[in-house]
Chain A
Amino acid sequence: MTDLMTDPETISRTRTGATVEFRGLRRSFGATTALDGLDLTVEPGELVALLGPSGCGKTTALRTLAGFERPDSGKVLVDGEDITGVPAHRRNAGMVFQSYSLFPHLTAIDNVAFGLRMSGIGRATRRARAAELLELVGLPQHAGRFPHQMSGGQQQRIALARALALRPRVLLLDEPLSALDAQVRLTLREEIRRLQQQLGITTMFVTHDQEEALSMADRVAVMCAGRLEQCAPPAELYERPATAFVAEFVGVMSRIPARAGADDGTVDVCGRTLPVNGTLPGAAEVAGGKGEVDVLVRPEAVEVTADGEGTSRIVGASFLGATTRLTVRLADGGEVTADVPTHTATTLPVGAAVTLRLPDRPVLVDRRRGNGGGDRG
């Protein structure tokens, strides 16, 4: 994109990131519960991504913060101040929507200046500021265009500029990239992140695209059925998921049947005994008796070797570039996803009998699920 011609300091001068807190938010629409006691705190200047399957309440949470939904119970606090009853237009929250939301009857610069106009700022001042913001999002030459004359990516940039125009305390992004094509999505997401860090503005970003969440956010809040499953930095979320839902929703995770070791703290899997790294909730009590458990593994942690005597069989392969993703069916019918370097994949044709090995590292254990239900990528 364009170099910044505006000194970011002049724009962020009066702005400091705010703390946002959700406390026990509940909201239901008829029979469906969108929020079921959501608690979450966002630190000043942080970008938190709300991630979850559709219908998990992430958008409702964001709209509650924006003031478009009222919670049935619970509170929303910004900088410790309860804003639950404050109407949307007095919340000072900038918002970018999923669908193109520019005002069709106004030009780009008038769209950006709209908020300033509503707050009674003089014409010259607001035009200058709007022009400054158009520079910031890299579209100064589009000032006079109407929304229908711009591409989707350009419209979302203008929408971002409009959201930032009033120097909001929080920036709310409701799947702003999901209507764009892949290439634009990538550049725009880097740009949003760059702007957000530059301005130090507290940001909540709703997305159902985990790659987007993991690559942009300081912390990712995974939601399911109106509750927070885990809120952690991306790496931690990937390495140490707190619940089975997070483990299987974020990234690809396969289950391999295993047997809990005699003494607590080890597990027998794929012919070797490995220490247990973490146990997901509910694993301990079910693992009683002879300890039927599942070991959860990422595809990059599974080693596949050709073995005529092996009880597992390769049933599928997809080329991903440097690696090839193999689907391996275990003797009990479960499926495991494994990534192998593409150059070794040539020795592992579909149909070959193989043996799986896990590296000598601590593993994540969950209670045994179903009849070898296997992979849930």
Chain B
Amino acid sequence: MARLNTLRYGRAAVLTLTGAYFLVPLACAVAFSIGAGVPGQDIGFEAYTGILTAGGFTDSLALTLELAAATIVLVLGLLVPALITVRLAAPRLRTLVEIVCLLPLVVPAVALVAGFSAVLGWGSDHFVGTPLFQVLVELQNPQFPLVLVLAYTLMALPLAYRTLDTGLAAIDLRVLVEAARACGAPWPRTLLHVVLPNLRGALLNTAFLTLALVLGEYTVAAILGYQPFAVWILAISGSQAQMSVAVSVMGLLVTWVLLLIIATAGRARRPKETS
């Protein structure tokens, strides 16, 4: 009994410490954003209400969400077919694919962006007037910088690989595919009606992780000179400190809500009858 109590207190202590570690800075941020403790200022939510009207908020958020959507499509479009093929047809390539996918983990964002800048620089140095120059220019289109999508895809690969690979390991892929084929389903329909529905959780998780990564990414975008959400937050923090914190808090809440939605979608996965 005494031991049980000790255990209980121990747990409570750990929980309190961890909770404090996360919650205290968060609470301070919220307090600061509503003006608590700032001399000569009333408590108010101007920082939050002002977000929508602040210059650049809508543009940067829209850009970030577009980039995130494109990155998710690209990551899933690359990895899902690749991982399924590796599992079904070329199991020996698995280690290679794993190494390639995990490689971005060891390349710091700064090194990555230095590489990108160098490659983009070739355009004006060596390829002026060639189609390649056009391609490189198009990649850096300020309306929708594809180069960021490429960079984010690279950066998302390790997380996406892990999640998808775990999802694939949880189902008996080969048997499911063969069962579908024996039922007369050609390859595309097998993928669409059997494999993807059973990877639902993994797909949603991958999408979420990628979204979170793109929402929070700063280094690459800032160095390449674009202004998505994270860069914008830092930009306005110089002039409107409270608002930048308010935006961060909102960002945190939005991310959290998205996570909850995805977790719920992954759990309540019994679809309506389809036949």
Contact = CB atoms under 8 A, between A and B. Distances in A.
Given A95-B178, A126-B275, A103 B198 contact: yes
A369 interface: no
A290 interface: no
Interface stretch (B94-102, B120-128, B139-147, B180-188): B180-188
Chain A residues touching B, range: 35 or more
A320 interface: no
Interface stretch (A14-22, A110-118, A185-193, A352-360): A110-118
B167 to A, nearest CB: 12
A368 B184 CA distance: 52
B178 A97 contact: yes
Interface string B260-275: 0000000001110111
A148 to B, nearest CB: 11
Given A105-B269, A126-B275, A68 B184 contact: no
Contacts of A93: 182
Interface in A89-127: 89-90, 92-95, 97, 99, 101-107, 109-110, 113-119, 123, 126-127
Given A99-B172, A113-B275, A130-B275, A119 B184 contact: yes
Contacts of B270: 146
Interface in B169-210: 171-172, 175-176, 178-186, 189-190, 193-194, 197-198, 200
A365 interface: no
Given A123-B275, A127-B275, A130-B275, A162 B183 contact: yes
Interface string A128-147: 00100000000000000010
Interface in B67-94: none
A67 interface: yes
Contact of A105 (B178, B189, B197): B197
Contact of B182 (A94, A99, A103): A94
A166 B172 contact: no
A163 B182 contact: yes
B182 A88 contact: yes
B178 A88 contact: yes
A105 B271 contact: yes
Given A92-B184, A103-B194, A118-B184, A110 B175 contact: no
Interface residues of B, number: 26
Contact of A66 (B182, B193, B273): B182
Interface in B225-275: 269-271, 273-275
Nearest to A97: B175
- In this complex, the member of B178, B179, B183 whose beta carbon has the largest number of chain A beta carbons within 10 angstroms is B183
A66 B175 CA distance: 13
A253 to B, nearest CB: 36
B175 A99 contact: yes
A67 B190 CA distance: 15
A90 to B, nearest CB: 7
Contacts of A99: 172, 175
A127 B270 CA distance: 19
A101 B172 contact: yes
A104 B175 contact: no
A103 B179 contact: yes
Contacts of A159: 179
Contacts of A163: 182
A90 B179 contact: no
Contacts of A102: 179
B42 to A, nearest CB: 55
A168 to B, nearest CB: 9
Which 7 residue pairs spanning A and B have beta carbons closest together?
A115-B183, A95-B182, A113-B275, A88-B181, A101-B179, A105-B197, A110-B275
30 contacts: A87-B186, A88-B181, A89-B182, A89-B186, A89-B190, A92-B184, A94-B182, A95-B182, A97-B178, A101-B172, A101-B176, A101-B178, A103-B176, A103-B194, A105-B198, A106-B274, A109-B273, A110-B274, A110-B275, A114-B183, A115-B183, A115-B184, A117-B193, A118-B184, A118-B185, A118-B193, A146-B270, A162-B179, A166-B183, A172-B182
